[in-house]
């Protein structure tokens, strides 16, 4: 788990559905595309998608999604029912 300093802003999580991420190679490609982005703290690949923990002051959900798409995979944010 990622440790957080008391003065850091709260981290957020976003979940993406990623088409055709069904192999180790695909997992590695997507993880490499996202993990070193400024603001990204953690990437967990689950099922057919990814859960990304990030600092919203360092990066936006749209920028994370764009990085996934640039790696060659189609990503769509999964909207949380709690936010609606």
3-class DSSP state of 82: helix
Q: Parse the chain into domains and list their residue ranges.
A: 21-72
pLDDT at 62: 96
pLDDT in tens, 58-73: 999 999 999 999 999 9
pLDDT at 75: 95
Which CATH code is given to the segment(s) 21-72? 3.30.70.100
Between strands 75-78 and 40-46, the pairing is unpaired
**List of long-range contacts for 56-60, beta carbons under 8 Å, 24+ apart:** 56/9, 56/12, 57/9
Low-confidence residues of the chain: pLDDT under 70:
1-8, 80-84
């Amino acid at each position: 788990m990622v440790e957080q300093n008391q003065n850091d802003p709260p981290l957020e999580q976003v979940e993406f559905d990623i088409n055709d991420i069904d192999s180790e190679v695909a997992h590695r490609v997507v993880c490499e595309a996202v993990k070193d982005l400024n603001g990204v703290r953690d990437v967990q690949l689950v099922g057919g998608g990814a859960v990304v923990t990030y600092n919203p002051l360092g990066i936006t959900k749209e920028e994370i999604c764009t990085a996934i798409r640039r790696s060659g995979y189609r990503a769509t944010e999964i909207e949380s029912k709690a936010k609606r």
